[in-house]
């Protein structure tokens, strides 16, 4: 094959690529258009009141939804260890609707609810309340709090960094060393607050009931990581400097 033939073949390959690329772009545009028509979760605000007496948690979660022609909502709740809920109130406990969660695979519980609303561009506000038994586990002075989050099987709205926000009310004498999601910290009112761009399946915290401050595992791992990387950087720098010299 000569030089000319090589160029001809290269031209063919490039031409094919140029045809393919717009075709692929068209497919993507169609996919994105269909995604734009989906219902989404606009925001979710969770409030959990931990009771030190019986180890349970009173949970209230306020959803704002952008509902597009899919009035049936699927609710899901995972049980973590002994921390689980069996049903929830949609709306206020005294006036709302009690909905039972049906057991699914393993610890998953689910329910479906049909909204009676027309297709609208207005955000739809929805309040759910439930009780989590054994949300608190005590081991001496150490505690572990796990609050399963009732989620709606809808994707989150794009680009909202604090779409999910949780507020945990813990006894004032307790101290938290680590939590999930990362960043759980006390605000000025003494509530432990954290936010995320998606709705997690639970919120958890570990700490001490006597208020003692201790290094949590995350901090230990952070320090260890920094030490290893600094050491490696130093060794690498020496090696490269020697080669350059």
Partner 1 sequence: MSAQTWVFIGYFFVVFAIGWFSLRATRTEEDYWIAGGNLGWFTGGATMAATHTSAGTFVGTIGVMYTAGWSFAWVLLSIPLSYWFVVAVLAPRFTKQKELTLPAFIEMRYYGKGIRGLAGGIILVATVVYIQAQIVAAGLIAHTVFGIPTTVGMVGFTLILLVYTVVGGMMAVVYTDAFQLVVMSLGALFAVPLALRQVGGLDELLTLAASAHPLVFTWQTMPATLLLTMGLSFFLGGIATPEKLIRLYSMKDMPTIRRGVLFAIIMILSLNLLVFILALTAIVLFPELPTGDLAMPMVATAVLPVTLGAIMLAAITAAMMSTVDSLLIVAGSALSVDIYQNLIDPDVTPARRMWIGRIGILVVGSVPVILLLSGVGEGQLVQFIVLLFTALMAAAFVMPVVGGIVWRRATKEGAAAAMVGGVVATFLWEIFGPASVEPVLSGFLVSAGLFIGVSLLTDPPPNHALEPYFDA
Residue whose CB is less far from partner 1, 117 or 240: 240
* Contact track, partner 1, 201-220, x by CB under 8 A: xx-x------------xxx-
Residue-wise DSSP of 154-223: SPBPTT-TTSEEEEEE--TT-EEEEEESTT-EE-TTS-EEEEESS--SEEEEEEETT------HHHHHHH
Q: What is the dihedral of CA 86, 92, 94, 98, to 10 degrees?
A: -30
CB of 215 to partner 1, least distance (A): 11
CB of 234 to partner 1, least distance (A): 11
Q: Does residue 5 belong to the site contacting partner 1 (CB under 8 A)? A: yes
Q: Select the residue interacting with partner 1 from 121, 159, 187, 213 (CB under 8 A).
A: 159
Residue whose CB is less far from partner 1, 49 or 178: 178
Q: Does residue 243 belong to the site contacting partner 1 (CB under 8 A)? A: yes
CB of 210 to partner 1, least distance (A): 22
Report 99-158 residues binding partner 1 (CB under 8 A).
Answer: 104-108, 151-156, 158
Residue whose CB is less far from partner 1, 118 or 243: 243
Residue whose CB is less far from partner 1, 106 or 140: 106
Report 9-48 residues binding partner 1 (CB under 8 A).
Answer: 9-10, 12-14, 16-17, 20-25, 28-29, 31-32, 35, 41
Residue whose CB is less far from partner 1, 23 or 118: 23
Q: Select the residue interacting with partner 1 from 87, 96, 181, 193 (CB under 8 A).
A: 181
Residue-wise DSSP of 76-102: EEE-BTTBB-SEEEES-TTTSEEEEPE
Beta-carbon contacts of 80 under 8 Å, excluding residues fewer than 6 positions away, are: 107, 146, 148, 202, 204
Q: Does residue 197 belong to the site contacting partner 1 (CB under 8 A)? A: yes
Indicate the pairing of strand 87-90 with strand 124-132.
antiparallel
Q: What angle do CA 114, 115, 117 make, to 5 degrees?
A: 140
Contact region with partner 1 (CB under 8 A), list: 87-95, 122-130, 207-215, 235-243: 235-243
Sheet holding 175-180, edge to edge: 136-139, 142-148, 202-208, 175-180
* Helix (DSSP H) and strand (DSSP E) numbers for the chain: 2, 16
């Amino acid at each position: 094959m000569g030089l000319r033939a090589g160029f001809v073949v290269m031209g063919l390959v490039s031409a094919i690529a140029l045809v393919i690329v717009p075709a692929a772009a068209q497919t993507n545009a169609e996919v994105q258009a269909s995604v734009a028509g989906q219902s989404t979760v606009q925001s979710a605000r969770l409030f959990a009141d931990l009771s030190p007496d019986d180890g349970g948690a009173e949970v209230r979660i306020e959803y704002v939804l952008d509902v597009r022609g899919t009035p049936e909502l699927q609710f899901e709740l995972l049980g973590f260890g002994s921390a689980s809920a069996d049903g929830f109130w949609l709306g206020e406990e005294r006036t709302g609707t009690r909905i039972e969660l049906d057991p699914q695979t393993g610890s998953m519980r689910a329910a479906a609810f049909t909204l009676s609303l027309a297709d609208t561009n207005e955000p739809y506000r929805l309040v759910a309340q439930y009780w989590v038994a054994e949300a608190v586990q005590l081991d001496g002075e150490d505690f572990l709090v796990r609050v399963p989050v009732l989620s709606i099987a809808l994707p989150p709205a794009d680009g909202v960094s604090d779409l999910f926000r949780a507020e945990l009310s813990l006894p004032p004498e307790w101290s938290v060393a680590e939590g999930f999601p990362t960043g759980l910290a006390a605000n000025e009112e003494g509530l432990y607050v954290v936010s995320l761009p998606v709705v997690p399946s639970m919120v958890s915290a570990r700490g001490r009931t006597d208020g003692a401050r201790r290094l949590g595992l995350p901090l230990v791992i952070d320090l260890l990581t920094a030490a290893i990387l600094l050491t490696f950087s130093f060794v690498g720098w020496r090696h490269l400097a020697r080669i350059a010299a």
